[in-house]
Chains A and B, each alone.
Chain A
């Protein structure tokens, strides 16, 4: 520890601290622009110059290491003179037109200029003008305002993992830009908007729509992936105008994925449905709530009376809240219906564990593992901020390995990688298991039949990464969880974990995947394989939320009664009999349990649109109408307390409830790799226009394969290809993907262009269209 004095206050700080760290620790604010705690130190803005005793000149607090006995003066004449000098330089070429700048009111330059600026300018030369840049659909530029702090550039390189922005030219001609003709395509790009201290980079969707002081700031939780990023939702006139990160070091740090940040556009979408609707004689009619609810209650009772309780299934996505899922299950239970399912993207429902599957450790600890093995995950697109965390871990020595049906760039160093066909994921894990067993000199578990498995060098390399690590993790991603042999993948991965001492974890696909398991809404299995007479669908779009969307759609279309609780029309309207407009996350209180088992409750940030009602209230009233006891809740907190009574931790477990027989199989021929793309994963993302204009959205609309496979199929880049899977056909533009093995055809799943296709992994045929 070092002793230091700042503005006369004595304190001790750990060695290695900077003057800025020390000042922050006692709440002394030193003005700055380029400094950011998550980025490397640039020391280029010079705004944080402070006086240090015995130093001949002012020193930048952000970069100056504390030495023992140091005396720092942050507001002495020397310091303030230096800071004012810097402020003058920053302002000479900065436009002084704050009233028309979108950053006005939340601009660090504006704020500091009030304290450090002069009333008039001594600079009488012409000001610099810098051309704006096209950074894509999410980030708007006003480059003349740039003060060259380089935060955005450092972010792309250090946090997002790939330098998409640079500072070209030199001297006063320096300008921030992407490579000519390129946009910023990172899945976490929006953070540069927060990082920019001035109005150079602002939100494109939000541009000129409101002033910061007109907005109320309300806390919420992201409804997308299983991370549960904390949000500040900004609201004006009962409308969500913008979403920003709420800093939470344990979860999202100070970042958001673009999906968390920009999906709010859907909340104001024209597809919002605001009145209950009933289809009568094939024609949709608006109804009042009472009529609609009675229609539902009577309909359900009727189907059960006629066809029995097994003829009804309830489905919901795990983007639904704890409260909604709990009441859904309770309602179904009252009806005697057991089939309540949230694992809609699963293909194999046979896995049984001792508790709810989860990350296996706190999110904040992931990056401090010595080794992490990813199995079946397109991590950057499934869990953008988790990928960022692992990237930071790799910088500190974490060894990252992967067993995947692709070799996608994680924008960090992979220590080892085994790439397999999508239908050989089990075999890939077995190869590594066998290599681990060889290293350890142990026998394979008796439930594993891997006799036919040869161990390639890549599998040995993956095994070596885990070997001898005191702290390691094996993480199963969406591709594993959606795999047709998930239980086998899981059991083989568990065997590796057992043999190496690594912790097994599951990367929760949706905001409430863990909560859904805790509530027991994983009890239906594949409810569309054998069609039912009635479907009760909460926040679910059959073609987009169910693995075999085509099959699900057919089942729904043929059902006698389809009740849809949804915030949006479109798909739901096509095949339902009744639609009850329910609130999206922003219009209801609720709780999500994230991948580490943390329950995060939130309130609605705006009132429900039109006649929309929170789903928990709708379900409660349905329970009342059906005469069930125990539906007298007056608040969502009451429901939550009942649903999540007791500690969550003991109910989380990745231990297999029973051994799973794992047997290696052979595979050949063209095979589909179907991933749910970043911006098709949930109802909100699908309807956010700006996200749909991103490069990620464009890639999701392509058919991709290795160059050799394309050649063999007679396809060239840019061609249209017709793919057939089962009875479904889709037509897509062809692109080459060097990350794939031959014979693997990468075609998005649950995508508007591929909705007719069947399972995510399976035989597929391709011809030139």
Chain B
């Protein structure tokens, strides 16, 4: 269900923790699975749970508690915009509105061509770089003014 490379990455996560504490690796393992498959289906969660050797419902709890796990299909690029207060004071809502207008979608929606999903995020711990946006959960973009957004969207193929 996952590539050898992903499984090797999960093994590296497992190696960080005591042998009788494999459960600790579930967050990393779900992240690795999601990175490969873009989002977590129930089947994928069950597979990862069995690989880490925990009950599937325990993995499901984790996958639904932490909000960077996606359990519904997302576009090729998931753009998460922080609108929390520090970002909002520096134009976080402007960024979000610009993206909505430019992509023609609202928060939680995906463009018809499946390329972009727009999400509202909570504080990313980078308020000094406000407004900030995450691409596919892992790549932080700073100072996302409309110009910077235009440039970034052009880069994302």
Same complex for A and B? Answer yes
- Chain A residues engaging chain B, CB cutoff 8 angstroms: 162-170, 177-182
Question: Given contacts A169-B65, A170-B65, is CB(A180)–CB(B60) below 8 Å?
Answer: yes
One digit per residue, 1 when the CB lies within 8 angstroms of any chain A CB and 0 when it does not, for chain B 5-47 equals 0000000000000000000000000000000000000100010
CB distance from A168 to the nearest CB of B (A): 4
A169 CA to B56 CA, complexed, in Å: 15
Does A162 lie within 8 Å of B55, measured CB to CB? yes
A177 CA to B57 CA, complexed, in Å: 8
- What is the interface size of chain B, counting residues whose CB is below 8 A from a CB of the partner? 10
> Which positions 57-100 of chain B face chain A at CB distance < 8 Å?
57-58, 60-61, 64-65
CB distance from B82 to the nearest CB of A (A): 19
For residue B58, which residues in chain A have a CB less than 8 angstroms away from its CB? 163, 166
CB distance from B3 to the nearest CB of A (A): 24
Question: Given contacts A162-B55, A163-B55, A164-B55, is CB(A179)–CB(B65) below 8 Å?
Answer: no
Question: Given contacts A179-B55, A179-B56, is CB(A166)–CB(B61) below 8 Å?
Answer: yes
A179 CA to B57 CA, complexed, in Å: 5
A180 CA to B60 CA, complexed, in Å: 9
CB distance from A44 to the nearest CB of B (A): 15
Does A178 lie within 8 Å of B42, measured CB to CB? no
For residue B65, which residues in chain A have a CB less than 8 angstroms away from its CB? 168-170
A588 CA to B89 CA, complexed, in Å: 78
Does A168 lie within 8 Å of B56, measured CB to CB? no
CB distance from B40 to the nearest CB of A (A): 12
Does B57 lie within 8 Å of A165, measured CB to CB? yes
A179 CA to B61 CA, complexed, in Å: 9
Does B57 lie within 8 Å of A163, measured CB to CB? yes
A386 CA to B7 CA, complexed, in Å: 39
A144 CA to B58 CA, complexed, in Å: 22
Query: Of all chain A residues, which has the CB nearest B55?
Result: A163
Excluding A168-B64, A180-B42, 10 further A-B contacts by CB distance (< 8 Å) are A166-B57, A166-B60, A166-B61, A168-B60, A168-B61, A169-B64, A177-B60, A179-B42, A180-B60, A182-B57
Query: Of all chain A residues, which has the CB nearest B41?
Result: A180
For residue A180, which residues in chain B have a CB less than 8 angstroms away from its CB? 42, 60
A167 CA to B62 CA, complexed, in Å: 9
Ordered by A's residue number, 7 sampled pairs between the chains whose C-beta atoms are within 8 Å are A166-B55, A167-B61, A168-B61, A170-B64, A179-B57, A181-B42, A182-B56
For residue B60, which residues in chain A have a CB less than 8 angstroms away from its CB? 166, 168, 177, 179-180
Query: Of all chain B residues, which has the CB nearest A173?
Result: B64
For residue A177, which residues in chain B have a CB less than 8 angstroms away from its CB? 57, 60
A180 CA to B61 CA, complexed, in Å: 11
Does A179 lie within 8 Å of B64, measured CB to CB? no
Q: Which of B42, B57, B58 has the most CB of A within 10 A?
A: B57
A267 CA to B132 CA, complexed, in Å: 67
For residue B61, which residues in chain A have a CB less than 8 angstroms away from its CB? 166-168
Q: Which of A164, A165, A168 has the most CB of B within 10 A?
A: A168
Query: Of all chain A residues, which has the CB nearest B61?
Result: A166
CB distance from B2 to the nearest CB of A (A): 19
For residue B55, which residues in chain A have a CB less than 8 angstroms away from its CB? 162-164, 166, 179
A444 CA to B61 CA, complexed, in Å: 54
